[in-house]
Every structure is written in structure tokens, then in C-alpha cells.
Amino acid sequence: MDDGRLGGEMTLADIAKQLRAIQSGLDEVRSTMKQGFRRVDEALNAAKVRDEEILGIAKLGLEAVEALDEKVDRGFTRARAASRSSRSSARSSCPPARPSAC
């Protein structure tokens, strides 16, 4: 009385059919996951390129600020030196009798 039925209801052919349907569903899920991972990977690569460009711009900006800072410092140093020089030459030209007149 073995007609290939399991559990009184399903035949082996029915089980094979369900397994093929499950496999097909799993294949679709697998394909969807691969596409999703591929998109995520592409987005991460694009973000990495963008971040590297931003980092390069930031470094360039920092170098420009540092160069400008050094230039301003040199300008102030020269101005202070010139100011001291002009004060000392002005003091040396004061008459010895009246230094407070300078």
C-alpha cells in the first residue's frame, strides 16, 4: 500500500515541488542580498573617494592658514623691530639737557 505518500497527505512529488519553490525563493533572496551588498559597496567606495577629496581640500586649507599665520607673524616682527629702531634713533637725537622733551 505504499503509494509514495508521507504523513498521509503529501506525495514525494509534492515535497519535491515544495522544495523547488523554497529553493527558488532562497535564490531570489540570495540575489537580492548580493545586489544590496553591491550597492552598499559602491556607495562606500564613492564616500571614500569623496572623503579623500575633502581631506585633501582641508589639508590644503590648513597649509594656507599656517602660511598666512607665519607671514603675519613675520610682518608683526618686522613692524616691532622698525618701531624699536625708530624710537631708539629718536631718543638718541634728543638733547642731553632735556630728554623729557622727546
Q: In which element (H, E) is residue 102 found?
A: none
C-alpha distance from residue 92 to each of 77, 96, 98 (Å) = 23, 9, 12
Would you say 3 and 11 are in contact if contact means Cβ atoms under 8 Å apart? yes
Band of residue 1 on the pLDDT scale cut at 50, 70, 90: very low
Output the CA torsion sign for 41, 46, 48, 49: positive
Tens of pLDDT, residues 42-78: 999 999 999 999 999 999 999 999 999 999 999 999 9
The CA dihedral of 82, 83, 88, 89, to the nearest 10 degrees, is: 60
Tens of pLDDT, residues 22-44: 999 999 999 999 999 999 999 99
| Per-domain boundaries in the chain | 33-86
